[in-house]
Copies of this chain bind each other. A is one copy, B any other.
Amino acid sequence: MSKPYKRILLTGAGGNLGRRLRERLHDFADIVRLADVADIGPAGPNEEVVQCDLADRAQVMRMCEGVDAVLHFGGVSTEVEFAPIMQANILGMVNLYEAVHKLGIRRVVFASSNHTMGMYETSQRVDAGMLPRADGYYGLSKVWGENLSRYYWDRFGVETVCIRIGYCFPEPVTHRQMVTWLSLDDLVELLRRALVTPRVGHTIAFGVSDNPGRWWDDREARHLAFQAGDSSARFTVDGGQPFAYPPEDDLSTFLQGGAFVTTGPKYPQ
């Protein structure tokens, strides 16, 4: 059967999520182009492999040539010092959208992060119409990406779905992981919806499974028709250990960003 797109590009293909997504993307396109800053080995059937430093404009332009849609999972994905975040997540985004716009690529799915909103409290309901409150340089760089893509929609008509991805690992353990969990299947389904909804304009969606008590209200992304198939309800918090009151000064339980809110930002000495 024919597929929605001829060629899609996955950046960050060598990263944690990229590796898990790789085999799942073939439903979306005849050819899946895989890009990473590192060498990720040879291409498989119906695959192309490109090595690319996002901070290098010419490389980014080449990476995007011939592509119909981009799944942008590349860049730095954790809280580190600012220099690499700036190169990959800030300059890299500019290079990517410059290429996308110049080449006439019409849609991008951008792997944003819940750390764009990490300074909201865990007893607050958050939606995409609220102002960002990032919890570190990493989160701030994701807010940059959301705003940049908004600009390319307002000005040039490039469509983007920003997905504020939750805790996307196989098994959630802590309360925070349970609340923010996104199963791989649900991520794939959300990517599918982001790719085949006829018009998305600039949409900010929360990437989260149907977990009890999730903090994020996805009302601004209903038109994507994403319906989570998984829920963290089938896991047991803290391996079944009884509830223990968190220490009064444990910021990581007060704020949605969890451990990020106390680690970030890292100043090199």
Residues of chain A whose beta carbon lies under 8 Å from any beta carbon of chain B: 1-5, 82, 86, 90-91, 94, 98, 102, 106-107, 119, 121-125, 129, 131-137, 139-140, 143-144, 147-148, 150-151, 154-155, 157, 175, 179, 193, 195-201, 203, 211-215, 217, 219-220, 222-227, 240-243, 245-246, 248, 253-254, 261, 264-265, 267
Q: A154-B119, A155-B264 are in contact. Are A4 and B219 (CB under 8 A)?
A: no
The docked-state distance in angstroms from the alpha carbon of A102 to that of B129 is 33
Q: Judging by beta carbons under 8 Å apart, are B224 and A213 in contact?
A: yes
Q: Which of A245, A253, A261 has the most CB of B within 10 A?
A: A245
Contact of A122 among B195, B199, B220 (CB under 8 A): B199
Q: Report the minimum CB–CB distance from A206 to chain B (whole Å).
A: 13
Number of copies: 6
- Determine the distance from Cα of A27 to Cα of B243 in the docked complex, in whole angstroms: 12
Residues of B with C-beta under 8 A to A241: 2
Query: Which residues of B lie under 8 Å from residue A122 when comparing CB positions?
Result: 198-199, 223
> Are A201 and B123 touching (Cβ within 8 A)?
yes
| Contact A147 B125, beta carbon cutoff 8 Å | no
* A200 and B123 form a contact (CB under 8 A): yes
Task: Tell me the complex Cα distance, A254–B55, Å.
Answer: 34
Task: Assess the A151–B123 pair: CB atoms within 8 A.
Answer: no
Q: Which residues of B contact A124 (CB under 8 A)?
A: 223
Complex interface: chain B residues within 8 A of A102 (CB): 267
Residues in B with CB closer than 8 Å to A106 are 245
Contact of A242 among B2, B222, B243 (CB under 8 A): B2
Q: Which residues of B contact A136 (CB under 8 A)?
A: 151, 155
A1 neighbours in B (Cβ, 8 Å) = 240, 242
Q: Whole-angstrom distance between the alpha carbons of A94 and B136 in the complex?
A: 11
CB distance from A47 to the nearest CB of B (A): 19
Our pick among B155, B198, B222 for the contact of A261 (Cβ within 8 Å) is: B155
- B140 touching A147 by the CB < 8 A rule? yes
- A86-B94, A107-B245 given; 11 more Cβ-contact pairs under 8 Å: A1-B240, A2-B241, A82-B94, A86-B86, A86-B91, A123-B201, A140-B147, A179-B225, A196-B243, A213-B222, A213-B223
